[in-house]
Chains A and B, each alone.
Chain A
Amino acid sequence: MKRSAVDAVIRGLKRAGVSIVCYLPDSLFKELYPALDADPDLRTIRVTNEGEGAAICGGVFLSGKRAVLIMENSGLRAAVEPLARMGLGAGIPVVMLMSYRGEFGENNWWAIPHGITMEPILDALRIPFQVIREEERIERALTEAFSWSYAAYYHAAVALGGEIVR
């Protein structure tokens, strides 16, 4: 990621009121994680799997603070169980920012499942999402995801793909 894209993500998160970031690091966002760690206005929490991260974000929601879960899109598969239970069972929302591994242009065989499964899983959970491939749209997509999520009390997702992450 370019520094300008990293900055756009952090600006969007702050405009959305985020103060806590849960993440499991990945390669496409590798420049993002140290920038989040270094930001004095954000508390970062490294988790052992994305389901744990989703549950922590759900707990943060209950405190009145705002959290985001940042991960590779493969993490969505690990997070399905808590997302389904919290979202559909209790109306506890989690906003997710994920890197779009496995979209057209992918040249790693192991990443193909991530591209094939991401959108159908989001659809199966009825989670609205935007795929963003232009840097100038990042900030607005993040604030819109939070607006929707805090009106619906349900999860929302933003996936960053294309030239933003390659």
Chain B
Amino acid sequence: MKRFACMQLLASRLQHELVILSLGGSVDEWYNAAPHMRAASLFQQQLGCVTPQAFGLACGLPHRRVVALDTDGGMMFNLGILATLGNERPKNLFIVVWDNECYLSIGGPPTHTASGRVDLAAIARGCGVEQAFTARTLEEFAAHCTAGLAAQSPYLVIAKVEASVEPNIKRKHSDGREDKYLFVRHVEATEGIVIMGPSEHN
């Protein structure tokens, strides 16, 4: 299963959602697969922070569906978030973990999921995230997207994808600060709120 094909499938189902995603090859892939979600997607850079940030966003906007696009390396960096989610039980958080069983962006050394013994979905279920599954085909992934985007408790799908990046796609040029401003202004406009407002004096 190719990650880019999964992204195109997921993107076609998104409109009003907010997305937080991980570093690495998935950045440019999502940038190309979901151009209509550009401002609604926060491209973040840190292992272990994608799902916690998405959870924080989901807590602050409980009426809005939030999608975390995490990775095997990122999720294993902070497995504790699964226990936090198991107890906090947000109703508006759909987590996709792109599991290519390696650290692809640095050349592909294996992660612990490559052994076949480490089952992230089983870990999640053991943490109380009952709706946690592994998808190995596009059909399975599509069904989990439908369910995850409508779920009323945290929903997680481990997407087993090939260790490759879609060739000949556009590169995203912005850095973390520009991405944050784009995202915050999108949240402000769509929620009718002020997050980064004016100074007291100009």
Contacts and interface: CB of A to CB of B under 8 A. Distances in A.
Nearest to A48: B80
B126 to A, nearest CB: 14
Contacts of B61: 63-64
Nearest to A153: B196
Contact of B56 (A46, A49, A56, A81): A56
A89 B45 contact: yes
A60 B57 contact: yes
A60 B81 contact: no
Contact of B195 (A64, A82, A90, A91): A64
A59 B53 contact: yes
Contacts of B46: 55, 81-82, 85-86, 89
Nearest to B195: A64
- State the majority secondary structure of interface residues on B: helix
B196 A90 contact: no
Contacts of A89: 45-46, 175-177
Interface size class of chain B, counting residues whose CB lies under 8 Å from the partner chain: 35 or more
Residue among B49, B61, B81 having the largest count of chain A Cβ atoms under 10 Å: B49
A73 to B, nearest CB: 20
Contact of B48 (A55, A61, A64, A92): A55
Interface in B116-166: none
Contacts of A35: none
20 contacts: A20-B56, A20-B60, A55-B78, A56-B52, A56-B53, A56-B84, A58-B56, A59-B54, A59-B55, A60-B59, A63-B56, A63-B57, A64-B194, A67-B60, A82-B48, A85-B44, A90-B45, A90-B176, A151-B199, A153-B196
Given A59-B60, A62-B187, A64-B188, 18 more contacts: A46-B87, A48-B80, A51-B49, A55-B53, A55-B78, A56-B53, A56-B59, A59-B20, A62-B183, A63-B57, A64-B193, A67-B56, A81-B46, A81-B48, A82-B48, A86-B46, A91-B177, A151-B199
